[in-house]
Amino acid sequence: MAQLRLILLCVWPTFVLAGCTGGPATYQDTQASSYGPPPTRGTAGPYVLGPGDKVRLKIYGDADVNGDYEVNSAGFVSIPLVGQVKAAGLTTPQLENALMARMRGKVANDPKVNVEITTYAPFYVHGEVKKAGIYPFQPGLTVADAIATAGGLTYRANEDKVLLRRAGSNETVIVPVEGSVRVYPGDNLRVAERYF
C-alpha cells in the first residue's frame, strides 16, 4: 500500500518527492538555478536570434536585398544573392558581420549592413486559460503577463503554479504564477487543473 501511494504521488504533476523521477522540479528545487535551464535567448545580456524571429535587413547600396526575413526552423535566413546564412545563436551585430563577410567581393566590395529585429518568436500558453494559443513576445514579459495575454485563468485552474518549459529544453519546471519569473521567446507555459 505504501509503495502504491508513493507511485501515485510520483505521477501527480504538482509535486516531486525524493525518490521519484521524471516529474517536473518544484519552485523550491529550482530557485538557485532560476527555474531550470537558462533561456536560450532574451536574458539580461544581448538578445540572441533564434527560429521564429523576424529581422529587417538594410544593405546600403543594394536595394534588391533589403527586406524582412524570418529565421527558419533550422536557424537560417535565406537572402537573395547571398544564400542561406546561419542566424540562430547570433546577436544582430554578429549577424551583420556574418552578412558583410559573405557579401564582400561577391555582392559589394565594402558592404554596409544593418540588421534590426522586427518581431520576436512567439511564446505558447495552454491548459486552464481562457484563450490557449500562440502569442507574440514582448521584452519584460512575466508569467502573470503571459496568462493575462491568454485571457486569464479558468475557474478550474491552479492559481498558484504553472508548468514552464524553456525553448530548446526538454525540462519542465514548476514556477509561481505571481512574481518576477520571466517568459522568453519560444517558451511553453501550461496551466494545470487544480485538485479539489
pLDDT in tens, 65-123: 889 999 999 999 999 888 999 999 899 999 999 999 998 887 778 889 999 999 999 99
H helices within 22-105, ranges in order?
27-30, 92-103
pLDDT for 85: 94
CATH superfamily for domain 13-43+121-191:
Outer membrane lipoprotein wza domain like (3.10.560.10)
Residue ranges of the chain assigned to CATH 3.10.560.10: 13-43+121-191
Closest residue by Cα to residue 135 from 126, 143, 123: 123
Total-model pTM: 0.70
**Is the per-residue pLDDT at 162 higher than 70?**
yes
Mean pLDDT of 112-140: 94
Which CATH class name applies to 54-119? alpha beta
Residue given cell 519584460 in the structure block:
140
| Cα-based distances in Å from 115 to 2, 58, 77 | 60, 7, 12
Mean pLDDT of 120-148: 94
Residue ranges of the chain assigned to CATH 3.30.1950.10: 54-119
- Element spanning 143, H or E: helix 143-149
Paired with 135 in beta bridges are 123
Length of the chain: 196
End-to-end Cα spacing for the chain: 23
pLDDT for 99: 93
Choose between 187 and 24: higher pLDDT: 187
